[in-house]
Amino acid sequence: MATQARDIPSIDTLSRTVSNSFDLSSSPTATFNSPPSSFGGLRRVSTKQLKPFATQDIKVLLLENVNQTGQAILRAQGYQVEFLKASLPEDKLIEKIRDVHVIGIRSKTKLTARVLREAKTLIVIGCFCIGTNQVDLKYAAQNGIAVFNSPFSNSRSVAELVISEIIALARQICDRSMELHKGTWNKVSNGCWEVRGKTLGIVGYGHIGNQLSVLAEAMGMSVIYYDVVNLMSMGTARQVPTLGDLLKGADFVTLHVPELPETENLIGAAELEQMKTGSYLINASRGSVVDIPALVNAMRKGKLAGAALDVYPNEPAGNGDYFTNDLNSWAEDLRSLKNLILTPHIGGSTEEAQSAIGVEVADALVRYVNEGATLGAVNMPEVNLRSLTMDEPNHVRVIFIHRNVPGVLRKVNEVLGDHNVDKQMTDSRGEVAYLMADISNVAESEIKDLWQNLEDLSS
């Protein structure tokens, strides 16, 4: 009689088996279906669908209004999905996270070491956004918790927002609109420009910078860019050797860099002073990249003709009247400036981007939970094996996360030595190592002993 896939349960320390599974099924219909893998195309009909536990026991917590596409993919696996529209304060988050296996968040939820320490059953985190700075990645990795994100899905949405802001700033559209909303007709051309023939300077020439470069050239702009590595340009864009060269040569400067110690206050008083008088600054990357008081001062002096900000050092946890001096001491000074576009971190907030992010991250979570694949993980070695097939009965997939120290692999292989190791792959990232192995000729009665022997290696 066919039975569903079973697992070697997870271990709570760094040495832990995360997505081990056992399947005696001889029929593809005896287990649930997984979505097609984006790695290697559609799965063959004979692929064996693995799962670490009975599917109804996988508990998923989704916060911050994760898109419906992601929810649907996770529910289709039979997981128990709890969905909340907002983020949670730390104490409430700790209560919620204690018995979940998977958590999905966006940018507001902070998964600190204190929170993760209470997440005794957590095996994976999905960041349904680009950034992962809201997660303690080192602590997660040290405790065998993989983290996935969506680094590219909202690139087009951010690029289009920046293009719209370039035009709006050049024409002072937001000021004219606000004036007319108040009943004031103020038809002026002074200080209003076409963007054709102007120079756009892109700081950070990644996926967003690439798309922005193409769109800007299509409008007749010249494009220069600065990046810490040498990158091939799109179209006729030109890389410049230093940030200073870019600031001096651009009419519009737009920032697309990650949040790192090296990028904190990347644009401060000295950098603003290097920019052309009457130029414009746009930041849709991270709030720590621009020194806001220095920006306020530069605009009040007339050094800059305008600016657009979509991100801030401190952002509210939810919607409401929170963008005040209580949140950031300079908020009211910032709000008082002319030709300044302020948006509430909406660069990737389009239906298309959120849908694509939902699919990308949810698929990664399913692959990790069901198969142990770490491709795309931001804090784990990237390891994957081809899928088991229905022609491989009595197979177990073993996932073992451990400290990267001598002797561990020898001990693991001693545990597995009574079985044939059909496939095995291991890789390390810093102090964390990740092993994946498919072993055959495993009797159902041997599963518990295998798990216990692997668990004993971490004690």
SS3 label, residue 174: helix
Q: How open is the CA angle 2-373-120, to the nearest 5 degrees?
A: 85
Catalytic residue check, 419:
no
State how far the Cα of 387 lies from the Cα of 396, in Å rounded to an integer. Answer: 12
DSSP string, 128-160: SSS--TTB-HHHHHHTT-EEE--SSTTHHHHHH
State how far the Cα of 244 lies from the Cα of 238, in Å rounded to an integer. Answer: 15
* Catalytic, out of 345, 367, 397, 402: 345
DSSP string, 319-337: SSS--STTTSTTHHHHHT-
* Catalytic, out of 101, 106, 286, 395: 286
Catalytic residue check, 181:
no
Q: Of how many residues is the chain composed?
A: 459
Catalytic residue check, 117:
no
Instruction: Identify residue 351 by its one-letter amino acid code.
Output: E
Helix (H) or strand (E) holding 420: strand 420-429
State how far the Cα of 139 lies from the Cα of 116, in Å rounded to an integer. Answer: 8
Among candidate residues 406, 412, 457, the one with its CA nearest the CA of residue 436: 412
Helix (H) or strand (E) holding 104: strand 102-105
Q: How open is the CA angle 329-332-336, to the nearest 5 degrees?
A: 145
- The answer to whether 163 and 219 have CB atoms below 8 angstroms apart is yes
Instruction: Identify residue 222 by its one-letter amino acid code.
Output: S
* Catalytic, out of 217, 315, 392, 446: 315
- The answer to whether 163 and 215 have CB atoms below 8 angstroms apart is yes
Residues with catalytic function? 286, 315, 345
